[in-house]
């Protein structure tokens, strides 16, 4: 396996690890603070591998059609796992039970699942759909929004004193960030459909 793909697979492996770190305290009622203290730097490391795989792919001339499909797949696995976590919180006072509304998660999941399917179709036709600027911007927004919400959960699990009204305001900001993610995800999806229209036009032939 190439060096770049080794970095990519780190994100795939990291997805269930992030999921378990987040939910073990919710399931057991233990290790609340420790879970987030470990999770946040670990997630930073996992996200950094996204840049490292591209760097080594270019440095070692390892750019491949497989890598162009595997890299966004790893991103989807990690980000959807993070977003799934953020539909829940250990705080009983959190509106809707978490930071990301379920309808936002479902719409993002549909978008990412469909985009993954289209990448597979394009690959079968010999075309690798590389990331475009809109997709990269969407990914950056995914990361910013997720970390914002995880930091709020860190406050909850560490027992930091935050006034209820202030917490609701910060929660509202998080909702706004996730709505922006939703908008950017579908804008970039439309951009991919337009850019690769010839590939998708006769996909069933």
Judge whether residue 107 has pLDDT over 90: yes
Cβ–Cβ under 8 Å, residues 121 and 200: yes
- Of the two residues 131 and 45, the one the predictor is more confident about is 45
User: Is residue 202 very low, low, confident or very high in pLDDT (cuts 50, 70, 90)?
Assistant: low
User: Is residue 86 very low, low, confident or very high in pLDDT (cuts 50, 70, 90)?
Assistant: very high
Cβ neighbours, 10 Å, residue 2: 17
- Of the two residues 5 and 27, the one the predictor is more confident about is 27
Q: What is the DSSP string of 92-103?
A: TTSGGGSSS-HH
Percent of the chain whose predicted confidence (pLDDT) is above 70: 95
User: Is residue 69 very low, low, confident or very high in pLDDT (cuts 50, 70, 90)?
Assistant: confident
What's this model's pTM, rounded to 2 decimal places? 0.90
Q: What is the DSSP string of 105-130?
A: HHHHHHHHHHHHHHHHHHHHTT----
- Of the two residues 164 and 149, the one the predictor is more confident about is 149
Cβ–Cβ under 8 Å, residues 101 and 109: no
Judge whether residue 144 has pLDDT over 90: yes
> Vertex 154, ends 176 and 6: CA angle to 5°?
85
């Amino acid at each position: 396996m190439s060096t770049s793909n080794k970095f990519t697979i780190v994100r795939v492996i990291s997805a269930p690890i992030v999921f378990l770190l987040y939910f073990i305290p919710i399931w057991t009622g233990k290790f609340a603070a420790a879970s987030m203290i470990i999770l946040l730097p670990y997630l930073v490391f996992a996200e950094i591998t996204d840049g490292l795989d591209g760097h080594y792919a270019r440095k070692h001339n390892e750019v491949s059609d497989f890598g162009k499909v595997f890299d966004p797949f790893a991103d989807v696995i990690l980000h959807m796992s993070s977003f799934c976590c953020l539909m829940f919180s250990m705080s009983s006072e959190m509106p809707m039970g978490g930071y990301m509304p379920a309808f936002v998660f479902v719409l993002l999941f549909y978008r990412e699942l469909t985009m993954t399917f289209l990448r597979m179709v394009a690959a079968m036709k010999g075309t690798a759909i590389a990331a475009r600027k809109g997709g990269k911007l969407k990914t950056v927004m995914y990361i910013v929004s997720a970390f914002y919400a995880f930091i709020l959960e860190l406050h909850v699990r560490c027992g930091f004193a935050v006034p209820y009204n202030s917490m609701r305001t910060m929660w509202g900001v998080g909702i706004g960030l996730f709505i922006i993610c939703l908008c950017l995800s579908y804008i970039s999806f439309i951009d991919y459909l337009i850019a690769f229209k010839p590939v998708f036009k006769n996909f069933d032939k």
